[in-house]
Amino acid sequence: MHPDNGFHQLDRQECLRRLATVPIGRIVYTSEALPAVLPVNFSLDSDYSVIIRTSTGSRLAGSVNGAVVAFEADQIDAATSSGWSVIVTGIAHVVTDPAEHRRLEVVGPDSWGPVADGVYILIEPELVTGRALGSHADLIAPPEPRDATSAAGLWTIP
C-alpha cells in the first residue's frame, strides 16, 4: 500500500486481535461454479481457525468441505471515515469427528438462526491480512475479546 493513501497494513497478530472483537463476518466460497458471499456469526478456535456453525443440509456445508475459502470481518465508523478489515484465507473443513463436534459445541459459536442438525465448519488461517483506514482506525477495535469464552483462555493473542 502506498504510505500516503491513509491505509495501513495490519500484521497477523493485530488482524487476529481485531477479528476476535466482532461477532459477524462473511464467508466467500464457490457454489455451483459461482462466487457466493454469506454473512455468518463466528468464533476463533485455539489455533485461530474460524469456527462457523450451520445446518447439515445447507448450501454452505455442501460447498466448502476441502475447498479454499475466504473469510472477511470488519468494523467501520462512518462518522470518522475510519475502520478496518481482516481477511482470512484457507481450507475449510466440515467437522465429522464426533469428539471434535462435542468440543466445538462448548467452544464454538451459537447459531443465531434455528439449527436443529448443526455442523461446524473450520477455516484454517493459512493467509491472514488486514488493513485499517483513518486516524481513528486503531481506536475502533476494543482491546479485549468480545465474549467470556474467548476471554477465559480459549486462545491468547500476544
Q: Residue length, the chain?
A: 158
User: What gap in Å lies between CA 38 and CA 20, rounded to an integer?
Assistant: 19
Give the mean model confidence (pLDDT) for residues 22-45: 96
pLDDT at residue 136, as a whole number = 54
Place of cell 488493513: 131
pLDDT over 50 at 156, yes or no = no
> Three cell numbers at 150?
474467548
- String of b and e for 14-50 (b: at least 16 CB within 10 Å)? bbbbbbbbbeebebebeeeeeeeebebbbbbbeebbb
Range with the poorest average pLDDT among 26-35, 87-96, 137-146: 137-146
pLDDT over 60 at 141, yes or no = no
Range with the poorest average pLDDT among 13-27, 71-85, 104-118: 104-118
Give the mean model confidence (pLDDT) for residues 7-18: 95
Domains of the chain, first to last: 7-135 (2.30.110.10)
User: What gap in Å lies between CA 97 and CA 102, rounded to an integer?
Assistant: 9
pLDDT over 90 at 145, yes or no = no
Confidence band of 110 (pLDDT split at 50, 70, 90): confident
Give the mean model confidence (pLDDT) for residues 17-31: 96
Average pLDDT value over all residues in the chain: 86
- 158: closest CA among 148, 137, 143, 147? 143
pLDDT in tens, 48-76: 999 999 999 899 999 999 999 999 999 99
Collect all residues with Cβ–Cβ distance below 8 Å to 146 and sequence separation of at least 6.
20, 21, 22, 23
From residue 142, how far is each of 14, 24, 76, 108 by CA, in Å?
12, 15, 13, 21
Confidence band of 97 (pLDDT split at 50, 70, 90): very high
Amino acid at 63: S
Range with the poorest average pLDDT among 47-56, 83-92, 143-152: 143-152
> Three cell numbers at 34?
459461482
